Structure 1
């Protein structure tokens, strides 16, 4: 059956320990060192990624602020232009109204002047016709029938001139 020999067990134990030391020195050490380098590389990549994420977040926030500021400026510009356009429209309306009022006043003055001229002309014409009538009446003595003929002729003459 199975027998245990102390010498064989001790020899196997020494060989096992020796093998463990050799594997630890030449096998595990380089593997651990490679794993350590790989872990450092991964940690560095994670740190860089976090740093880049933070920079991207900061840049995104800065761009959002710039966009907001630009929109506000555009809104202010639009409002200012709207106010300027309204003021300009009011000015144009005021100028047009002033011009229309001035044209109306000039037309009224011109009408008054023409009316005065027409009245003066009519006065001159009436005076002239009155003098003609008076001279005809004085030239001859008129009876009632002749008087009516003269008045009719005079009215006819006046009608032709007007």
Structure 2
């Protein structure tokens, strides 16, 4: 069966015509068949993306069947995924760890000391340090946010790190 040469789906105008013709009907089909909880609009859009990705392999006469089949399969995959998620939530998570009680206690004590030392830092040091180490911002970004030079930010982070190393045994940061 020869492809329609005049109506190549990869052409923007033809694809737009297909989209305008089937988008709402496809979304309604998914909504009526599966309900709103599985995002029928998103699945319909995903089906059109797959049609665009496969536009060279799908003829114009098969476009509607392709869209409905792909969208239906996407919804079925989503339902399977939701079943796995539900099964995981219904299982009781293990209530034990391989960590010793001493390790857990040491970890909690270290966290308390760390928070105490963080509170003892000046606000400028604490803000620069946390923006860099917790949020992962670069020195230049922090300087721009705080309205200071990059050297000032580097000094604040370095001085905060020095205080933390001095106050906390074994304190290291990557």
Q: Same fold (TM over 0.5)?
A: no
TM-score (norm 2): 0.22
For the pair shown, the structure with the greater C-alpha radius of gyration is 1
